[in-house]
């Protein structure tokens, strides 16, 4: 695609939408008393050994579950329905009661922070359901995404429009009138409006045709290539693992298989159990 700010940084005078300074290994100050791992082996974002559920006294949904992603990477979580993929994402975002484990962002333990504060720290999260405001226009949705910003976000909106040109065309239409694929673009665009340090997507291609899925994956790859780490859940396991630097197969709230996308695609057990042979 021509004229895209994500592929060509020459014309892009504004700080990138993806906040590359933040994502390229700068290390936030750590609170004293925290375990400090060396920068080399500590992922940019990690939900580590997470055990917990939706309430303090309820059942554990996650069991010693670990998911992580680094700058420039796409990490993909796959697994059967009800495996806890969304729950793991919500745990990383601070919407779960964790009995054990922790969440580190750029070396900082953020386990005790609210989702709101995590957004301010740089997490862009697109949930599986209800991820847009259907009665608001496309542009208003993107403006909502910029709610935490006090600076001029118009350049970021232009970058979102460069990434998803159809959204510019439909900027004044209610988002609820858009197709499934276009709605997902609104949802991803909304998350990008915060200039996140990491992008978390729960089933960004749910309910779209294979062609639209390929399109969306291409755009996600484009975003990841700018250095922005992408952690996503996908039900299109095979296609998602093909673009994954890191892959996690979750089963019953636990890590069943972990490896590069290629490794998982080649693993006979993963193929037989999760990829239809
Ligand atoms: N809000 C909730 N309160 C209590 N239990 C929940 C809640 N949401 C999900 N669960 C339970 O957590 C388990 C994991 O569900 P989760 O939605 O994380 O699975 P998933 O892997 O994302 O599935 P899918 O592929 O269908 O999206 C299920 O047993 C589910 O019933
Ligand atoms: Mg889910």
Instruction: Check residue 277 and report its DSSP letter.
Output: -
Strands 254-259 and 246-251: antiparallel
What are the φ and ψ backbone dihedral angles of 255, each rounded to 5 degrees?
Answer: -70, 120
Instruction: Please answer whether residues 71 and 179 qualify as being in contact, where contact means their C-beta atoms are separated by less than 8 angstroms.
Output: no
What's the Cα-to-Cα distance from 185 to each of 9, 61, 168, 170, 238, rounded to whole Å?
A: 22, 30, 11, 12, 22
Segments forming the whole domain that contains residue 50? 43-121+243-277
What is the number of other CB atoms lying within 10 angstroms of the CB of residue 1?
11
Q: What's the start-to-end Cα distance of the chain, in Å?
A: 35
Identify the CATH number of the domain in which residue 269 sits. Answer: 3.40.50.300
pLDDT value of residue 17: 54
pTM (2 d.p.):
0.87
Residue 48 lies in a domain: yes
**What is the rounded CA–CA span in Å between residue 196 and residue 131?**
16
Give residue-wise pLDDT tens across range 129-178: 999 999 999 999 999 999 989 999 999 999 999 999 999 999 999 999 99
Asked whether 87 lines ligand 1 (CB < 6 A), one says yes
In this structure, which ligand is nearest to the CA of 80? 1
Residue 13 lies in a domain: no
3-state secondary structure of 218: helix
Instruction: Check residue 19 and report its DSSP letter.
Output: -
Counted domains in the chain:
1
Pocket test for ligand 1, best of 52, 56, 84, 274 (most atoms within 8 A of CB): 84
Residue 47 lies in a domain: yes
CB neighbour list of residue 124: distance below 8 Å, 6 or more residues apart: 191, 192, 194, 196, 198, 199, 200
Residue 203 lies in a domain: no
Pocket test for ligand 1, best of 56, 59, 67, 86 (most atoms within 8 A of CB): 86
Closest ligand 1 atom to Cα of 89 = 18
Closest ligand 1 atom to Cα of 79 = 21
Residue 196 lies in a domain: no
**Radius of gyration from C-alpha coordinates of the chain:** 18
Spacing, Cα 71 to ligand 2 middle (Å): 24
Give residue-wise pLDDT tens across range 122-143: 999 999 999 999 999 999 999 9
In this structure, which ligand is nearest to the CA of 236? 1
Q: Which residue minimizes the CA distance to atom 6 of ligand 1?
A: 54
Residue 254 lies in a domain: yes
Residue 250 lies in a domain: yes
Give residue-wise pLDDT tens across range 54-90: 999 999 999 999 999 999 999 999 999 999 999 999 9
Instruction: Check residue 77 and report its DSSP letter.
Output: E
Asked whether 61 lines ligand 1 (CB < 6 A), one says yes
pLDDT at position 46 over 70: yes
Pocket test for ligand 1, best of 85, 88, 128, 201 (most atoms within 8 A of CB): 85
Lowest pLDDT segment from 8-17, 138-147, 182-191, 256-265: 8-17
Residue 135 lies in a domain: no
What's the Cα-to-Cα distance from 61 to each of 50, 94, 215, rounded to whole Å?
A: 10, 15, 33
What are the φ and ψ backbone dihedral angles of 187, each rounded to 5 degrees?
Answer: -65, -45
Nearest Cα to Cα of residue 216 among 224, 232, 204, 225: 204
Query: What are the helix (H) ranges across the chain?
Result: 20-23, 85-93, 115-121, 138-145, 154-163, 165-169, 180-192, 210-225, 237-242, 261-266, 268-274
Q: Which residue minimizes the CA distance to atom 24 of ligand 1?
A: 81
Asked whether 86 lines ligand 1 (CB < 6 A), one says yes
């Amino acid at each position: 695609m021509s004229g895209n700010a994500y592929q060509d940084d020459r014309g892009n005078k504004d700080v990138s939408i993806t906040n590359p300074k933040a994502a390229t290994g700068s290390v936030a100050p750590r609170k004293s008393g925290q375990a400090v791992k060396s920068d080399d082996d500590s992922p940019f974002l990690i939900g580590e050994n997470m055990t917990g559920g939706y309430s303090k006294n309820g059942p554990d949904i996650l069991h010693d579950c670990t998911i992580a992603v680094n700058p420039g990477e796409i990490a993909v979580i796959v697994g059967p329905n009800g495996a806890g993929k969304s729950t793991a994402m919500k745990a990383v975002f601070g919407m779960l009661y964790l009995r054990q484990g922790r969440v580190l962002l750029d070396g900082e333990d953020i386990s005790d922070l609210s989702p709101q504060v995590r957004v301010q720290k740089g997490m862009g999260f697109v949930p599986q359901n209800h991820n847009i405001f259907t009665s608001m226009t496309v542009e208003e949705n993107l403006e909502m995404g910029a709610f935490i910003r006090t600076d001029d976000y118009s350049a970021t909106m232009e970058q979102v429009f460069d990434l998803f040109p159809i959204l510019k065309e439909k900027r004044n239409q209610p988002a609820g009138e858009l197709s499934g694929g276009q709605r997902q673009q609104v949802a991803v665009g909304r998350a990008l409006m915060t200039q996140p340090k990491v992008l978390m997507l729960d089933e960004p291609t749910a309910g779209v045709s294979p062609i639209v899925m390929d399109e969306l994956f291409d755009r996600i790859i484009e975003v990841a290539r700018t250095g922005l780490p992408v952690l996503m859940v996908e039900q299109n396991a095979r296609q998602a693992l093909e673009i994954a630097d890191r892959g996690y197969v979750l089963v019953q709230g636990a890590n069943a298989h972990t490896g590069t996308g290629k490794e998982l695609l080649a693993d006979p057990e993963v193929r037989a159990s999760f990829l239809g042979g």
